[in-house]
Structure 1
């Protein structure tokens, strides 16, 4: 497990609004305008939240005309689930984080 990458993803998910955005995107690709409709904050605030999710690798963006469409990065989500399962499993850990 890459602890640095895992911590970066978890930090991105430390805000409830970003978790809600991930939940929304779990139903499929959305335009920024569709995401923004669900929140009581400004477009620059949405841009900040999206930037954090993009930098963590959780979300991908595709520009179509003047619109940005966001979707989940399934590979990153799968890795998060796998790492969380590994991290929370009942295996004995050696010093340094290696499984015994």
Structure 2
């Protein structure tokens, strides 16, 4: 779900993902590190926050697989995005959750 949610949102920080998925920070960070090491995700640091996005180097076939998975998980992704929306916009999210 991490990659699908990131694909939908384009970029998310760890605290946003932990809130949306209702998972612990160490668990989410461990999975993000694995996805980054595999070349699926890129990250950027902004102060104390690290934001993750799909890598520009993701092969076309991976994009196609993610698109198919996204279609299959449509309702779950809508629920996760609603949880994110409940956090407010990014500045408010930082104050409330990060």
Shorter-chain TM-score bucket reads 0.5 to 0.7
- Over the aligned positions, Cα root-mean-square deviation in angstroms equals 1.7
TM-score normalised per structure 1: 0.56
Partner of residue 5, structure 2: 24
Structure 2 gap segments, 5+ residues each: 65-98
Task: Name which one, 1 or 2, has greater alpha-carbon Rg.
Answer: 1
Distance 1:40 1:59 in 2: 21
Gapped regions of structure 1 (runs ≥ 5): 1-19, 83-100
Runs ≥4 in structure 1, deviation > 4 angstroms? none
Structure 2 Cα separation of the partners of residues 53 and 73 of structure 1: 10
Matches within 5 A, 1:1-100: 20-27=1-8, 28-78=10-60, 80-81=62-63
Q: Which moved more, 1:27-36 or 1:70-79?
A: 70-79
- In structure 2, relative to structure 1, the CA distance for the partners of 1:77 and 1:32 (3 Å cut) is farther
Equivalent pairs counted in the alignment come to 63
Deviation at 1:79, TM superposition (A): 5.3
Rounded to whole Å, the distance in 1 between the matches of 2:24 and 2:59 is 27
Normalization by structure 2: what TM-score? 0.57
